[in-house]
Amino acid sequence: GMVWLNVIAGPVCDDSGQPIHFLIMVEDISPRKQAELHQALILRTIPDPLWFKDMAGRYVLWSDAFLALHRRSAAEVAGRRAAEIMAPSLAAGVEESDAIVLATRQPFQRERRAAAPEFDGERWLDTTKTLVCDEDGQPLGIIGITRDI
């Protein structure tokens, strides 16, 4: 199979600054690259809108279904907050539920009727969100998934 390598090379110099040989470090990064490929496949194929936002509420990861639901491109979503990519009424509900997740540090689930221009009318959405924390319990952001019911 394919092997991904990270190669770092640099000269080793003598006291006068002249290169006398090179030091090369090679690291097999195949497991990391395989994980990245799997993540990309999941985000491309999961049928429900999925996203991850940092602690400032900026979208940093999303599924293709999320982009399709909001009729946005990845470039339009990257690093932006809900209010910058959604209708005001929809963004207000998103930010309200984010605040609940951050305050309670508990998963949040809600079914609601949402109307937005990108929906061509109304849709019933079932959304679940939860806080993502690092190994020390420090919050990193919020992950969520929505199902059009």
pLDDT per residue as tens digits for the range 54-79: 999 999 999 999 998 888 999 999 99
**pLDDT of the residue at 117:** 66
**Which range is least confidently modeled, 89-93, 95-99, 129-133?**
89-93
Q: Quick one: which of 69, 14, 6, 64 has its CA closest to 33? A: 6
**pLDDT of the residue at 122:** 80
Q: How far apart (Å, rounded) are the C-alpha atoms in residues 35 and 91?
A: 32
As a whole-number percent, the residues of the chain with pLDDT over 90 amount to 53
